[in-house]
Amino acid sequence: MIAVGLVLLFLPHLGHVIQSYASGIGATLLIVGALLLFTFYRMCRPSRLLLKMGGAYQLKVESSVIQQLVEKELKMECKINILRKGTIEILADMPYLSEEHLEKIEEDLTLLFVRELGYPREFIFSVASKSLSSQGEPELA
C-alpha cells in the first residue's frame, strides 16, 4: 500500500485528470500505510517493564520473565500485563481462597518482586475463582 502511494505521488507524467488526483490519492495512501505499519508494530511488540535502578541505570524486563517468576511462586498459570506507568497486573484463575490466603500471596509476590526485580511499587492482583462451592482451601507452602 505504501508503494502504491509513492508511485501515485511521484508520477508526474500521468494524464492531466489523473495527475490532478494522483498526488492527493498518493498522499492519502502513504499516510494510511504508515499508520497501519505503526499500528501493527505496536500490536506485535512484546510488553516490557522499565525498571529504573539507582543512578542512570535502567533495565527492561519482558512480561514473559515476570510471568515465569509469578507462575513459579504461585505454582499455577497466570497472565501478566504491563500497564501504563509500569504497573504490573497479574490475572489468575484460582480456587476459592480466604482473605488470609490472598493476603499471604500478595505479601509473597511483593517480596518476590523486590528481591528478584527490584520492583518496590504496588501491583494489581486479580483473581477469578474457579468454583465458589465450599471446597477445602488448599494449603500454601
Q: Quick one: pLDDT at residue 14?
A: 58
Provide the grid cell at 53. 535502578
Q: Quick one: pLDDT at residue 65?
A: 86
Stretches in the chain below the pLDDT threshold 70:
6-22, 45-59, 130-141
Q: Quick one: pLDDT at residue 35?
A: 92
